[in-house]
Amino acid sequence: MFDWDRLRNTSSVHILTRLAEERGMPTADCLAGTGLLPEVIADPDAAVTARQEVMVIRALLTRFGAEPGLGVEAGRRHHLSLYGPWGLALLSSRTPRDAFEVALRYVDLEFVFGRLSLEESGRDARVVFDDRDVPEDVRPFVTERVMSGMRVLSRELFHSVIPVRRIVFQHSAPVDTTRFVNVFAMEPDFGGPANEVVFDRECLDIPLPQASEWARKTCEQLCRDLLSRRRVRTGVAGTVRNLLVRNPGEIPDQTAVAADLFMSSRTLSRRLNEEGTSFRALLDEVRQMLAEELLDHTDMTTEQVAARLGYAEAASFIRAFRRWNDCPPQEYRLRGIRAGARLPQLV
């Protein structure tokens, strides 16, 4: 059963109010009865409940529900850059299978109501959206938003790695499917037995294009935003730290960083020492920050977090984490849950 009082990121409600504003509906009207203020939904560190979000959807549909593909339009505005640690976890995934595993465990705190699952059978892989828990009056909109949002996020993450063979919706076809075709690059099937996206199973294990310039820059910016909350660094130390967060999962060693800065490892060590730090200290700082963010704000396993941070084995990561926090990762996570830290406070 879906938890309608669970806290979620405000970005989805913000997107909904923007859709309303573009169609002449004031934000205040869109939020009527929710108890939400415009300044709250514009705050990336705030949270709303799923129940409040459904009320906003109903207000939007009351005025514009006859517009074909409105849910598709909402979904296509969801981008990885909105989702802080969750987006970071996806961007640093090694394969689509790895990314799907992380995404499906955490996506209900973003823009999904109901349940997403990945099914494999023969040569097919299917991402299925079970919308039975979604109220009937908003179900088509929500389903369109989920399917469209997944398509946009996967395109940003996978680029052209995964060619989709079929997209199916359970609800009836709208009078105009132009938006669907524009987003999905195909005519979906309507009135099907399930909401699903079907593609070749073998695509799940294709290495992701980590060298993608868009992915690299977005991931780096997310990391910089997170690091800026902890401690601002300037000089050579700041430059080194920026290079270390450029692509989590492939964190460079000191020799590589020194080469990027056109200096020897010895010179880099001396320059950092003059600034009161060291390469090891900066590497620990970056890994500790990323580890804590991923443990606090995603459901990734210890092994998955270790892989994101470039550790060859989880045991090495656990030893390092004990050194940073005087406890293993799982104990740290349990403390955060008890203290209420694991809320969707995403950048």
The per-residue pLDDT for range 123-161, each reduced to its tens digit, is 999 999 999 989 999 999 999 999 998 888 888 777 665
| Residue 184, both tokens | 């999905």
Q: Please report the pLDDT score of residue 305 as a whole number.
A: 86
CATH architecture, range 213-339: Orthogonal Bundle (1.10)
- Residue-level length of the chain: 347
Spatial distance between the Cα atoms of 290 and 247, rounded to a whole number of angstroms: 12
Q: Please report the pLDDT score of residue 304 as a whole number.
A: 83
Q: Residue 32 to residues 11, 53, 59: CA-CA distances in angstroms?
A: 18, 11, 8
In 93-145, DSSP assigns E strands to 115-121, 124-130
Q: Please report the pLDDT score of residue 119 as a whole number.
A: 94
Residues of the chain with pLDDT under 50: 211, 341-347
Q: Please report the pLDDT score of residue 220 as a whole number.
A: 58
Residues with Cβ < 8 Å from 285, sequence gap 6 or more? 227, 230, 231, 241
Q: Please report the pLDDT score of residue 296 as a whole number.
A: 79
Q: Please report the pLDDT score of residue 292 as a whole number.
A: 87
Spatial distance between the Cα atoms of 73 and 182, rounded to a whole number of angstroms: 10
pTM score, whole prediction: 0.66
* Contact yes or no for 100/118 (Cβ under 8 A): yes
